[in-house]
Chains A and B, each alone.
Chain A
Amino acid sequence: MKKLFPALFTIILMACGSEKKSDEQAFMEELDSAQNTGPTISEAVIGDILQQIPSPLEIAVLLKESGKKYNASLLNSPDNLPKYNSNYKKALNLGIYGADLGYTNIYEQNQDGIKYISSIKSLADGLNIGQFFDIETIGRLATNSKNLDSLLLITTQNFNSINHYLQTQGRANLSVLLLTGGWIEAVHIMCSVAAQDPNNKVLQEKIGEQKVILENIMLLLSFYKDKDQNMATLYDDMQELKKIFDRVNITYTYKESTFEVVNGVMVIKDNSTTTIDITPQDVVDIRNSTVNIRNKIIS
């Protein structure tokens, strides 16, 4: 029994030790402590807002489904990678390149996509989140257009994992930048396409409804702007864009929905509506403001 006790004591110590931070985790925290400027609100609240931001993929699908042609010149060149040295620029441009990759994937432009994959991996490595980006699998899937569904799935999963990891590691500031970059790029692409098709009401409405997302992004940036000069500058730039979006009116009318069960799936008929009042001039101004912000980010 005397021998049993020390053995049990050791086991208990080992079991308790499992909650101790790993060396890798401790290293990561130390690495980030210089850049991590804490928000003025809890990380849980930030996480709740972050998860609401829709994927830029939705806009790429809209453009393709509405018959718009692929246009690589709208995207940020993957060759701009060496310009991004700070964590601030890396995170924003990781979001931008992520949106660009989604666009190339949706249009099945695999050769372009591979270039973005490479730049994304470099930026992710630079932010110590490269382990979530499975470049080998993505590269393999990207070589065959038949793998589109798998490619979209794995890239979306990788970006979700990155965002989740950043939030659990107290680095939600980078997650905010990543999602902001992705949103800016999606709006930029959409506005550029709309400029070539100024009478397209669907596109105009789609741009107008970005007001809902911008409000969330502004809220997120506001949590950091007092403690981080880069975030403050970005917030001020985005404030100019918000002023234009404030001219857009979104009217929501709730009406109870109806449903039917079809093949085991409950199919809802949404009887609520939103009307979006946006003028062609609003679209032009949104485009110009977005271009200004994006140019600062990608240069």
Chain B
Amino acid sequence: MKRLAFFVFIFFALSSTNSTAQCNSEALSNQCIPKLASGFNFLKSYKIDGEGGAKDKVEYSYVFTKGTQYMINICAPNQPTDGIVVTLYDSNRNKVATSKVNGQYISAIAYPCNATGIYYIQYTFDGSSTYCGGSALGFKR
């Protein structure tokens, strides 16, 4: 009986540890909304949950239209981006933009779209410690 009680205790202790380490990507994506630059209207918030490293990317898509400027930003729990990189691809999977440049992680991309179409917004983890973040998409004319 003592052994059973011990295992039950361990089970709950581990469950508790796991729940505190869970990724609250919804809260982080909500934090990102007011960080969109002035003049941008909010469109979407995106959860970035790499499931502790089990996922190497999280991807969304959106139709961007010519003549509209879009902004995509990143929020992470501790550091500004925690190694999360956002890369934008066009419908043919050509790379259009990335937030990592010269080893530097930028927390926001402004993209004045010149070509209407479906774009893929891909988040990857480059040395991330939490594999957890949020992002917001806004637009202005």
Contact = CB atoms under 8 A, between A and B. Distances in A.
Interface in B59-117: 60-63, 65-68, 71, 88, 90-92, 94, 96-97, 99, 101, 104, 106-117
Contact of A156 (B8, B42, B104, B115): B42
Contacts of B1: 1-2, 5
Contacts, number: 132
B33 A153 contact: yes
A73 interface: no
Interface string B30-68: 000100010001111100000000000000111101111
Interface string A78-95: 000000000000000000
Nearest to A55: B43
Given A58-B68, A259-B101, A268-B97, A51 B60 contact: yes
A261 B106 contact: yes
Given A4-B5, A157-B42, A270 B60 contact: no
Contacts of B33: 153
Contacts of B116: 209, 212, 250, 274, 276
B139 A52 contact: no
Interface residues of A, number: 50
Nearest to B116: A209
Nearest to A251: B115
A228 interface: no
Interface in A1-28: 1-2, 4-5, 8, 11-12, 15
B99 A266 contact: yes
B48 to A, nearest CB: 14
A53 interface: yes
A266 B139 CA distance: 15
A4 B2 CA distance: 10
B4 A5 contact: yes
B62 A271 contact: no
Contact of A58 (B8, B12, B92, B139): B139
Contacts of B106: 261, 264-266
A293 interface: no
Q: Which of B67, B71, B88 has the most CB of A within 10 A?
A: B67
B115 A54 contact: no
A52 B44 CA distance: 10
B114 A51 contact: no
Interface of A: 1-2, 4-5, 8, 11-12, 15, 48, 51-55, 57-58, 61-62, 65, 152-153, 156-157, 160, 202, 205-206, 209, 212-213, 216, 250, 252-254, 257, 259, 261, 264-274, 276
Interface of B: 1-2, 4-5, 8, 12, 15, 33, 37, 41-45, 60-63, 65-68, 71, 88, 90-92, 94, 96-97, 99, 101, 104, 106-118, 139-141
Given A209-B65, A257-B97, A265-B71, 7 more contacts: A5-B4, A152-B41, A156-B43, A212-B117, A254-B94, A268-B96, A270-B113
